[in-house]
Every structure is written in structure tokens, then in C-alpha cells.
Chain A
Amino acid sequence: MADSIADITSLSDAKLRSELVRLGFQAGPVTKTTRSILQKKLLKLRSEQKKAPKRASIAVPSRKVLGFSSDESENDVRPTGTKTRQAILRRRSARGRLNTQSRRKGTKAAEESENESNDEENVDIDLPTSHSFSFLNRPNVRSKSTTFQPNDIHTANAQARPNNRSGTRLSSDYAENDHTSRSFSETNNKTFDHQLPKPSKGNSSFFSTQRIFGSQPANDNEFSDSDIGQDNEPASWKGKKGQTSLGLTRNDASVYNAKPNASNTRHSGTGLDASPGNVNKTFSVANDNGDKENDDLSIRRRRSLNSTPKTSTPRKLTPHSYDKTDVDVSLSSKPDRRKRNDISNVQGARYDNSTRNQSHHSSHSLLEQEFPTEENLSASLGSKYSHVISTVLLACAFIFFAVLGVLYISVGSEDNRPLICDGSAKYEQDEEFMLKAAQFVSDRLSERGGLFVCGTLDQLKDGNMTRKEVIQLLEDEFVSYENSQGNPLWAEGILQQILERAIEKEWKFQMYNASGDKITDVNDIESTQYLSTEHTSLPWLCRVRRSASLVLLRLTVIIIFVIFAWLFVLYLRYYWRTQELERDEVLAMVEKILDMLSKHHRACQNDTKNNHAYQAIPHIRDSIIAPAERQKKERIWKKAVQFINTHESRVRVETQRIEGEEFQVWRWVQASPSPHLTSFAPVMELEYNPNRVKVWQGTAFDNPEAAVKMRSYSPTECLKIRNMFDISLESSEHWEIVIEDAVMERCGADNGIVHVAADKNSTEGCVYVKFVSPEMAGQGFRKLHGSWFDGKLITVKFLRLERYHTRFPEAVHALNPIKPSNNLQKSLSVINRPSVGGEAT
């Protein structure tokens, strides 16, 4: 430490600063005064940094981990997270066992070791179970599907994992089960049972699903043996856990591969031996996919595990290089989109590993290297999506418009459907003629309808045509048609055909029988008596007239509406104006009343013998409002009374007996008949007496410190006092000396005034004072500022010394305090004036 101090003190300023910045402290400038502080800071930072590596294993992951799912960080933060691998294993295995072996309790180490030989297989299975359980259950919990197809799992996994909710829940289950070794949470159990209705025959201690994951007991043993020959039994289950977690990281692959097995075993219950191969395969595949390093590391890890005791003494987490390979493997083996999923799994696995591996202290840098990688991954996920989003938006817009266009076209085509159309070429020439005839009939019908609507033809009773009329029209029109010769009934035949076609093809004219019912059936065509169409074609003039009348109608409505709105606005305005006028009048009335009351009050004060200090309300009204106006101003008066009763604090309402009759009275209750206020009222006879004695009349504020924003320090020793006198009223000789004396007297005996001068030319009544020191000036300021002098409110401000000296050059050498011209202290005497009753200090 000592040498580091020397080291730091020898640093140059710039070096010191750069060193601080390097350690992540944004230091300010290094100056003579700050240097020692910054040196200390650097020392502190360095010592912290030295400590850091030991703590880094926790601190760094927990910081970085924030980028991951919440459950992982939870794990990190949780105190249990720092427990040994055994603790976690025990927890998990206990959990598994709790599930499988009718919730047997006992997570204690003793029990574990006791059961070890028996449960070894169980443990091997159970462990994966808890994992596989989490994987297998999750989809079900989310999707509630009772069937358990691999596909379902896959998709559900992919969906459920990213938001990690189920993951979180599971981890919380861990936490719950940690110490209390409680049974699984209800939902989990249920779903679990739901999925797996029957326990497998071969081993009643676990469900067949446990095997789904692919870590069959036998298989597991084989597996671990094949991987690490030297693993002894207790160690192997630990190692296997590592393996399972490894498998977890590749959950997709392993779950996938194992799944068919699982479904088999579930039903048969004898598929124990069948699955191992498969599982083995998945693992080996995964391993192949990963680096070679992976294997080495896993072996190393297992070895270290072998050496670890089974006690649950808390140990620090030490993530190590293995983590990285783990991550890499899992990621490389899964090129598809489910990255979050993977990451969280990886995280879980890595976490397990890290807890397991106490002996492997990896370097800090490796950690840092690792975490950014994952963060980048998650970040790249976001960017990937964001890239897609724009395209998706574009596509959506395009599809929208395309659909819109199609809709529009289809609608348009419907509209464009000809009134009478034939649509197929199978008709012959005769048909062609018939179509022509139909069009003709339709046109006539439309015209007829139009005429009817317009009302131009008086004789038209309705817009229909009778069958006879139509036939007549047809005959007249097509008299030259060749087929008509010699066949008097051809027109009728044509009509018949037209009508049939009309019903078939929904042409736009309707047929009615004699009783006025609409005919919709081809068989009833015979009974058609009237024809009409909804599609009326109006004559031009008629159309103009109709639209004109429509426009006029609407215009009228709008105009009426506007007029109403305008009237309403006018009324509102008028209302507001009258309100305002009335308010003004009320206020004027209030003023009058107050004036009267205060006058009366003053009169009462002056001679209290015969006057009451109150006045009856009716009396005030009668004296204010002339008799002729009383009726008219009744309203205003009432409002004024109301106003005074509610808003006027100086007036009190009382009930007094006057001349034997009770009246509501107003009493003027000014809290303190202050001399300041009364001094506002000019006392004329005194004012015009030049020989009157000018006196200090107290301060305007009870507490000048609070009322005036006094400076707590005094910048200069010079003061400028304003409003001391009125130049137009000063006529006596040496009046300025009186004023100057007044200032000095006000400031007290030891005032420290060295120079004082009344400005005879100023219209503001300025007096300039110079004190010995700024402190004295401050005292003078406090005494003078805001006090009344001869009915004037004094204001004081500080003046710069230079300016004072330029104005009064003689004051430069004035250093000795001066005294007033006399010792009478006239200005401090109290005059026997009622208005100056309470002279404050």
C-alpha cells in the first residue's frame, strides 16, 4: 500500500487524471487544491479494484445477467444461488423424488447419502426429470393440451420460453422447495399427473415421462461411463447432472429425439432399454456438434466434482471457461430463431455448472468475453425482428390495398351490371329481338315512373303500366318486325318471354298481379297485370327541379340553424354584459357602503358619546339609494349585502336593538386602527404647516426581516434614502438639516454616519448617507428601510462607494462619525395626534 501511495504522489496531474478515468471515475481538473483529494480517490479505487476479482465472480455475472431472463438473475441474487452444486442437486433431485416417489420428504444430506446406493439410479433419473419435467410440463401448463406430441412440445416450447414466464415460475418453485422441501406446486403436479396417468411398471419411483427426457437410469450410467471411465458411482450422478444440464442447453434436440421414446415408454412402461440408445445419441450428437474442448472440460468438471464433498456449505459462484463452450455449443447447434429460449436454458445450465465448479477459477476476462457474447445475441434478436417489421408493414399495406382494390372492382362490376342483359350467347336471333323488346319495355316503364314521380301527367294514377298498355306499346314499336306479321298474339308471347327472363335474371322491373301482390315465381307470370320499375328515369327539367327543391330545403334548414345559433350567441353575449354591468354596479354599491361605514366608524371614534359604532343595514340602504331607485336597485342591493356579508372581513353583521326594534346592523371592525393607515389620509392642516415637527412614525412592517427581502450582508457603506421629503413642500430655512438630523437620530447614537446630505434638487426626496463601514450601513439600512417619516414611506438602497464619491467629493475624507445638529431628538418625539397612536419603535 505504501509504495502505491508513493507511486500516486509521483504521478503527474495529467497521469493522475487519466488513471482515474481508466478506473471509471470521471475526475474533474487536477489542481493544487484538488490533487490530494483525487489522489485519495485513486487509492481507494485501486484498493477496491484489488478486492474486486474475488468478488467479481458474483458481481460481474449478476450485473451482466440482467440482460437475460428474470429467473436467472433471480437465481443469482438468491442466497441459495451461492450454495453448492450439491445443494441444488439435492433440491432438484428431492423435487424429482417428491414428484415421483409420492412426495417423499427428505432433502437432508444424511438421507441422501443413506439413500445413495439405493437411489442412485433414481437420482440419476430424477435429476433429468426435474429438467425434462420443466420442459415437458411447460407446454402443457401453457396450452392445456392433453395430447403430448413432440410437435406440440416443440412449438409450445418455442412459444412459451421466450417470455420465460413459465421459466420464472419454475425457478420460484425451486426457491420454494429449497429448504422446506415442500411438494410441487399444485399446477405442476396436476399437469404432471395429467400427462402421465400411470407410473411405469419397471420402476415405480418415477413416471415414464421422466424417461422422456432420455436420461434413463441404465442409460445414464452407461452414458457417464462411456464419457468418463474413471467416474465412480456417487460422482457419476453428479457428473450426469452436468450432462443433463448440458442436454438442457440443447433442449430442442434432446427433447426432440427423446420424445418418441417417451411416448413409447409411457404406454408400454417397458421401454426403459429402448430409449437409452436414443438419448445417448442425442448427447453424443450434441457433443459432436460442440468443440472438442467441451468434452475435455466436462471431464475436468466431473473430476473436480468428484473431489467435492457433499455438504451444503455455501460457496461462491465461479463461472469458468466451460460456460463459454456450453454456450457456444448450444448456440451453434441451434441455428433457428428460438434464441431466447436457448439463452435462458444455457444460462440455467451455465449457472449449474458455475455453482458446481468451485475449483475452477477462471479469469475475469473470460467472463467478460462470454457475457457480451450473449448480450450481443439477444441484441441481434431484436435487430433481426426490427428488420422484418418494416417488410411486414409494407406487405400489410400492400395486401390491404390489394383487397381494397378487389373489393372496389367487384362492387363496381355489380353496379355496372346492365339493367337488361343477356350474358350468354346461346340465344338466337329471336332472343336478340326479345332483349331489344325487353330493353324497350324497361325504358318505357322507367319513363313512365319518372313522369309519375314528377307529377307532370295528371292522368297518371301510378307509376305502373298495365299489361295491356305494354302489349300495345310493343305492337306499336315493333309493327314492322317480320315475325309479327299475321300473328296478333306475338306481342303477348314476347312479353311472356320477357317476364320469364326478368324473373330468372332479376331484371329490374317488377310484376304485380291484379290484387297488387308482387310476382316472384315464373309460374305466376300469367296473372301479371301491372309492370313497374324502381329504376325511374326522370326528365331533365324534372330532375333539375327536384334537386333545386332539395338544395333549397337543406339551405333553409342550415340557415335556420345558423340563425338560431347566432341568436343564442347574441343572447349569451347580452347575458354576460348584463352580468358584468350588474357586478360593477354591485361593487360600486359595496364601495359606497364601505366608505360610509368607515366614515361612520371614524366619526364614532372621534366622539363616542352619542354615536353607535354600527349602522343598521336598512338605514345604509336608504341613505345610499334614492327613494325612486330603491325598487329598481333592490336586486343589486341584495347582492351587495350578500357580498359584504361573505367577502368583507372588516364588516361584521350583528343584530342590535335600535329604538326598541331589532335590526341587522353592520359594524366596522377594522382589526387594528393602525396609525400607518390613517397616516395615508392626509392631515392637511399639519401638512401645510411648515413649522410642524417632522417625526418618525414607526415601521411599515411589524417584521421587516420577513416583509422585506433584506440582504444579510452589506455590499457598501453608502445608502440612498428616498421619499424623505417633498421638495415642493419644503419652505423653511435649513429644512435639509432637519431631515439630516432625523436620519441620524433614527439610526441611533453610535450610528457610524460619517457623511449625510439631502439632495435639494431631487424630486424623490433623496438623502445620501455614508457610514463608517458596510456593517454599520447594513444596520442603518434595517432601521430606515420601510419606516414612516412624516407620513412618507421611506425606501433605502445601497449605493456604490465610487458613485457616492463622485456625487459628494467631500465625503471621501469624511471618516469621523458626525452628530446631529442638536440633541433634542425632535424627530423621535411622539406627537399627540390620534392618528399616530401606537408609535412603534
Chain B
Amino acid sequence: MSTSKKHREFVGEPMGDKPVTDLAGIGPVLGDRLQKAGFNFAYTVLGQFLILEKNNELFVSWIKDTASANQKQANDCYSCLKEWCDSFL
């Protein structure tokens, strides 16, 4: 499966202060919801991701709960963060 441009861009460089919407699978709508939930930056989501021990199942269900994401969006976001962690952590 080829990854999206957004995914590649996110995974290709340090996260910096990127907004949540830069995460793969997180569009403006989901980004808005996440920001309302207090996740203003991609790194906050990363923090949650890490606190859930990079567990696919948990993270996916979390993002589904928090941002009402669908399965694909959640998986995109997960794999994006996973890959980022694999290369930068």
C-alpha cells in the first residue's frame, strides 16, 4: 500500500510544532475536534500515542472516541505516528 503525500511529508522530517492537521488521516474536521479536546499540536497526539504504548488497538479506539474518526482515518494516523516514531525516536 502506498502512503499518502501527507503521510510521507509528516514522516519525512521532525515534527516541530506542526498542527494536528498535519497528521495523516486528520483533516480539518478531525483536527478541529482534536483541538477542542485539547490536542492542539501533533506532538500532543504523539504523546497520547506514546502513553498508549504505541498500541494499535488502543490508539485507534482512542482516536475514534476522541475525534469520531473512522477506521481508515484512525489507522492512517496510527501508521503515520508509528513510522515517525520508528525513524525519529
Contacts and interface: CB of A to CB of B under 8 A. Distances in A.
Contacts of A41: 57-58
A711 B17 CA distance: 12
Contact of A29 (B9, B16, B51, B65): B51
Nearest to A774: B17
Interface in A551-591: none
* Max chain A Cβ within 10 angstroms of own Cβ: one of B13, B52, B66: B52
Interface string A20-40: 000000111101011011101
B61 interface: yes
A480 interface: no
A713 B18 contact: yes
A38 B48 contact: no
Interface in A429-479: none
Contacts of A29: 51
B53 interface: yes
Contacts of A26: 53
A36 B37 CA distance: 14
Nearest to B47: A33
Contact of A34 (B9, B19, B58): B58
Contacts of B53: 26-28
B61 A713 contact: no
A36 B48 CA distance: 13
Given A37-B65, A40-B61, A713 B16 contact: yes
A37 B62 contact: yes
A470 to B, nearest CB: 96
Interface in B34-83: 48, 51-53, 55, 57-58, 61-62, 65-66
B48 A34 contact: yes
Interface size of A as a range? 10 to 19
Nearest to B6: A712
A260 interface: no
A800 to B, nearest CB: 13
A715 interface: yes
Contacts of A38: 58
Contacts of A715: 16-17
B26 to A, nearest CB: 14
B18 to A, nearest CB: 5
A23 to B, nearest CB: 14
A712 B22 contact: yes
A33 B62 contact: yes
Nearest to B15: A713
Nearest to B39: A33
A34 B22 contact: no
Nearest to B19: A713
Interface in B4-37: 9, 13, 16-19, 22
A282 to B, nearest CB: 56
Contacts of A711: 13, 16
A774 to B, nearest CB: 9
A26 B55 CA distance: 10
A26 B52 CA distance: 10
B36 to A, nearest CB: 14
A107 to B, nearest CB: 46
B29 to A, nearest CB: 20
B62 to A, nearest CB: 5
B55 A28 contact: yes
B17 A713 contact: yes
A37 B58 contact: yes
Nearest to A711: B13
Contacts of B61: 37, 40
* Max chain B Cβ within 10 angstroms of own Cβ: one of A28, A36, A38: A28
A28 B17 contact: no
A41 B18 CA distance: 31
A28 B52 contact: yes
Interface string A273-312: 0000000000000000000000000000000000000000
B52 A34 contact: yes
Nearest to A709: B13
Interface in A33-64: 33-34, 36-38, 40-41
A29 B55 CA distance: 12
A37 B57 CA distance: 9
B58 to A, nearest CB: 5
Given A28-B51, A31-B51, A712-B9, A36 B65 contact: yes
Contacts of A28: 51-53, 55, 58
Interface in A710-737: 711-713, 715
A116 to B, nearest CB: 54
Contacts of B9: 712
B51 to A, nearest CB: 6
A111 to B, nearest CB: 52
B18 A34 contact: no
Contacts of A709: 13
Contacts of B19: 713
Contacts of A34: 48, 51-52, 58, 62
Contacts of A27: 53
Contacts of B48: 33-34
A28 B49 CA distance: 11
A33 B13 contact: no
Please give me the 10 A-B residue pairs with the lowest Cβ-Cβ distance, nearest first.
Answer: A28-B53, A37-B62, A37-B58, A712-B9, A713-B18, A28-B51, A37-B61, A34-B51, A28-B52, A33-B48
Interface of B: 9, 13, 16-19, 22, 48, 51-53, 55, 57-58, 61-62, 65-66
Given A36-B62, A37-B52, 14 more contacts: A27-B53, A28-B52, A28-B53, A28-B55, A33-B48, A33-B62, A34-B51, A37-B58, A37-B65, A40-B61, A41-B58, A709-B13, A712-B22, A713-B19
30 contacts: A27-B53, A28-B51, A28-B52, A28-B55, A29-B51, A31-B51, A33-B48, A33-B51, A33-B62, A34-B48, A34-B51, A34-B52, A34-B58, A36-B62, A36-B65, A37-B52, A37-B58, A38-B58, A40-B61, A711-B13, A711-B16, A712-B9, A712-B13, A712-B18, A713-B16, A713-B17, A713-B18, A713-B19, A713-B22, A715-B17
